[in-house]
Amino acid sequence: MDPSKVDAEPEPEKPGSPLQSILYKSTLALYRVFALLTLYAVLVGIFCYAFVMGFYAINGSWAAPVILSASDEKSLDFMQKLVLSRQSIEDLKVDIIRQQTTLAEMDKYRASLLKLDSQLQSAIARERDHDQLSGPQLAALDAQKQADNRKTQELLTQIHQLEAEIESDQTAGLITKGDAAAQLAALNHAETDYTDSRIADVMLTDSILDKTTIGTKSLEVIEKQAELRSDIAQLDVTLSVAEKQLAEDNRQVQRLHDAIAIAKQSPYYLNANGDKRLYFAFVPYDNQASATVGAPIYDCYLNMALCRKVGVVKQVFLGEQVINHPIFKNQVRGLTILMDLSHPESAKSQTVFLGRKPLLF
């Protein structure tokens, strides 16, 4: 024996009593059975998990059913937006009618202003023509009048000498007092006529001035004409703006109508307004090729095996949706389809498959 070898160690301590031994053995047996089953279950679980992960990583035909209730938050939100859009259309229509009425009034007003301008223009032209004709005539008459007045003035000078003679004749008693008064009245009348004649001359001179030069009166007319044209120009600008606004409002109404028309094709609209239960499913973009109208839909056990046909794709909505991947739980982008399901319970499945069975059985 090797001298360096130590004494053999004592055997491990055994359980004390037979009862304890039985207890230990049965506990161990149970533990081992449990451990064996659990470990195999864990192994199977891990294998299945890995297979499912791999399967969904490469499969290109799965879709995730989405159950939308009438009180679905998105549907309600969608409907609320739809109602608001319609309300906007109504408001815009009222605005359009008001704008159209205003535009019509403004058109009428503009027409009347244009007419007035035209009349004013005609009146000015007519008056100018008349002045051009009557002005020289009046000038000639004025010259004649002035010559007449000068003659009258000379006569009046002689008449003033007559007044002295009348007074001396009356004083001499050559004429009666009544005759003298009558003669003096006649002289006075002649002076008054002369004064009137001079006034008429002055007035005539004014008239000639008015007709032959541009006076303040003409300027006033021109100013009125300018104001009128300014009013028309401003009205044109206002009309142009109002017409553009009206056109924009009309376009906005059209856009809202278009948007509502598109929205009516949304699953949320259909869901909120449909009278019967609709079944939708999310299809990621990677699987879009499988999402064609009429493609069969399969529902499978364990999300991949023993599949059965449960319906067809009824409609494909092109609006983008983002949901969490049913297996990987990360966010994926895709679109929604409407399913025509013969087995409505399949809408509750985690996934369905479009076009064909994923594992051929």
Taking CB under 8 A as the criterion, the residue among 265, 328, 332, 356 binding other proteins is: 328
Q: Give the number of residues written for the chain.
A: 361
Buried b / exposed e across 19-47, counting CB within 10 Å, b at 16+?
Answer: eeeeeeeeeeeeeeeeeeeeeeeeeeeee
Q: 51 phi and psi, to 5 degrees? A: -65, -45
d(CA 93, CA 82): 17
Binding residues for other proteins, rule CB under 8 A, total 30
Distance in angstroms (rounded) separating the CA atoms of residues 210 and 205:
9
Residues between 189 and 208 that touch other proteins (CB under 8 A)? none
Q: Which of 214, 276, 330, 360 binds other proteins (CB under 8 A)?
A: 330
* 17 contributes a contact to other proteins by CB under 8 A: no
**CB of 279 closer than 8 Å to CB of 314:** no
Using the rule CB under 8 A, is 47 a contact of other proteins?
no
Binds other proteins (CB under 8 A): choice among 138, 300, 310, 327? 327
For position 2 contacting other proteins by CB under 8 A, the verdict is yes
What's the min distance (Å) between Cβ of 242 and other proteins? Answer: 58
DSSP 133-161: HHHHHHHHHHHHHHHHHHHHHHHHHHHHH
Binding flag, residue 31, other proteins (CB under 8 A): yes
Residue 28 sits in the site that holds other proteins (CB under 8 A): yes
What tokens appear for 107 in the block? 């058109």
Is residue 302 near other proteins by the rule CB under 8 A?
no
For the bound state, the minimum distance from the C-beta of residue 75 to other proteins, rounded and expressed in Å, comes to 26
Per CB under 8 A, 10 contacts other proteins: yes
Binding mask 51-80 for other proteins (x = CB under 8 A): --x---------------------------
- Is the Cα torsion angle 84, 89, 93, 95 positive or negative in sign? positive
309 strand-pairing partners: 298
Q: Is 276 in the site for other proteins (CB under 8 A)?
A: no
Q: CA 107 to CA 347: how far, in whole Å?
A: 62
Part of the chain binding other proteins (CB under 8 A), chosen from 62-70, 111-119, 238-246, 328-336? 328-336
Residues lying near other proteins in the complex (CB under 8 A) are found at 2, 4-10, 12-15, 21, 24-25, 27-28, 31-32, 34-35, 38-39, 42, 49, 53, 327-330
